[in-house]
A and B are shown apart, each in its own frame.
Chain A
Amino acid sequence: DTGVSQDPRHKITKRGQNVTFRCDPISEHNRLYWYRQTLGQGPEFLTYFQNEAQLEKSRLLSDRFSAERPKGSFSTLEIQRTEQGDSAMYLCASSLGVVNTIYFGEGSWLTVV
Chain B
Amino acid sequence: AQSVTQPDIHITVSEGASLELRCNYSYGATPYLFWYVQSPGQGLQLLLKYFSGDTLVQGIKGFEAEFKRSQSSFNLRKPSVHWSDAAEYFCAVTNRDDKIIFGKGTRLHILP
Contacts and interface: CB of A to CB of B under 8 A. Distances in A.
A107 B39 CA distance: 12
B97 interface: yes
Interface residues of B, number: 24
Nearest to B90: A42
Interface of B: 4, 32, 34, 36, 41-46, 49, 51, 90, 94-97, 99-105
A33 B51 CA distance: 20
B96 A99 contact: yes
Contacts of B51: 99
B103 A42 contact: yes
Interface string A85-106: 0000001010000110111111
B104 A98 contact: no
A91 B44 contact: yes
Nearest to A92: B43
B101 A98 contact: no
B105 to A, nearest CB: 5
Contacts of A40: 104-105
Nearest to B51: A99
8 contacts: A35-B102, A41-B105, A43-B102, A45-B100, A91-B43, A102-B46, A104-B43, A104-B44
A101 B33 CA distance: 10
B94 A106 contact: no
Given A99-B32, A104-B43, A106-B42, A43 B99 contact: no
A56 interface: yes
Contact of A101 (B49, B104, B105): B49
